[in-house]
Amino acid sequence: MSLEAYIDSRLSVGHGTFTKAEAMTALGQSSSTILAATERLIKKQKLVSPKRGFYIILRPEDRTTGAPEPARWIAPLMHHLGIDYRISLLRAAAFHGSSHQAAMVFQVIAPKQIPAIIIGRHNIRFVYQLAGVFAATNRDEWLASLKTDAGYAKVAGIELTLLDCARYFHKASGINGLAQIVRDLGSKAASGKLSDAAKHYENTAVRRLGYLLQHFGHDRQARALLPYAAKAKSLKPLDPSLKSLAALGTQLHETDSTWKLIINDIVETDS
């Protein structure tokens, strides 16, 4: 069997990816033979390889975008790399119904630093989370499944999505992007899960989330985070990306004593 016949057989049973090792075993061919064959098929735009030894099979409809939607192949890729993961931030927010999040980037949280993957129109960015925090948060009961025609991918549940966006808000379209996500999704969060997961996040991020939940009237969810605000020792800016309180052109000195935050930015969302 040729490699081209092998990839056709993979597609016929719903598998859109394969590894070099799998092809070597299935075809009984050497590494160099498989590599030569894959290079030929890459030139023909029948394969693309985001990471060494891992191949995505391109169907005719995939060639205009450069690859299938990343949700279809992120799970086998991460399995190949031997790294656990979860889809989160803007892509997870869109999955859970934050309709304003037309994610131009596909964001994955992982406990190792992984370079970005850019294939055609797809931009896959990996956000590093400390291994201990990742292991504590990437629990089945806090995750959801993103179903595609190729299988399932791990995606942050609503509570982790909110906490991840609060922690890495600079990667979630800034404070206003975070505010939009909180406005859209806050009422759907389970208070108990939110409180339990929050213990693994930086206190400032939890207070930022709590403030926005309260700001948009998600009072039950906000109350679940109040114990974390009570532990805070000092005031922190709502938006630490602003260099000073005068960054907006006017002096903003408002503070929120409940969440122990300096409200140094005006939160704006789409209606």
What pLDDT is attached to residue 141?
A: 97
Retrieve residue 215's tokens: 């700001």
253 domain residue, yes or no: no
pLDDT for residue 246 is more than 70:
no
In this structure, what are the phi and psi dihedrals at residue 258, rounded to the nearest 5 degrees? -70, -45
Residue type, 67: A
Are 49 and 80 in a shared domain?
Answer: no
257 domain residue, yes or no: no
Q: To 5 degrees, how large is the angle CA 113–CA 185–CA 175? A: 60
Residue where a domain stops, chosen among 68, 98, 113: 68
CB 210 within 8 A of CB 222: yes
Are 171 and 217 in a shared domain?
Answer: yes
pLDDT for residue 175 is more than 50:
yes
pLDDT for residue 224 is more than 90:
yes
Q: How many domains does the chain have?
A: 2
Are 149 and 216 in a shared domain?
Answer: yes
Q: Rounded to the nearest 10 degrees, how much is the dihedral formed by the CA atoms of 149, 151, 156, 158?
A: 50
Could you tell me the CATH number of the domain that includes residue 9? 1.10.10.10
Are 228 and 115 in a shared domain?
Answer: yes
Per-residue confidence at 101, pLDDT binned at 50, 70, 90? low
Are 41 and 130 in a shared domain?
Answer: no
Q: What is the pTM of this model?
A: 0.91
Using only C-alpha atoms, the chain has a radius of gyration, in whole angstroms, of: 22
pLDDT for residue 40 is more than 80:
yes
What pLDDT is attached to residue 148?
A: 82
Which of 64, 69, 20, 122 shows the shortest CA–CA distance to 7? 20
CB 197 within 8 A of CB 121: no
259 domain residue, yes or no: no
pLDDT for residue 250 is more than 50:
no
**What does the pLDDT look like over 69-87, one tens digit per residue?**
999 999 999 999 999 999 9
How far apart are the C-alpha atoms of 5 and 248, rounded to whole Å? 61
Q: What is the mean pLDDT of residues 200-220?
A: 97
Retrieve residue 72's tokens: 């279809």
Domain assignment of residue 41, given as a range: 3-68
Are 90 and 60 in a shared domain?
Answer: no
Indicate the burial class of 30 (C-beta count within 10 angstroms; 0-12, 13-18, 19 or more): exposed
Q: Rounded to the nearest 10 degrees, how much is the dihedral formed by the CA atoms of 186, 192, 195, 196?
A: -130
Are 64 and 78 in a shared domain?
Answer: no
Residue where a domain stops, chosen among 27, 45, 68: 68
pLDDT for residue 247 is more than 60:
no
CB 14 within 8 A of CB 149: yes
How far apart are the C-alpha atoms of 268 and 22, rounded to whole Å? 50
pLDDT for residue 160 is more than 80:
yes
Q: What is the mean pLDDT of residues 162-182?
A: 94
> Helices (H), strands (E): how many in the chain?
11, 12
Residues 6+ away with beta carbon under 8 Å from 3: 23, 27, 34, 37, 38, 41
Which of 268, 230, 90, 85 shows the shortest CA–CA distance to 171? 90
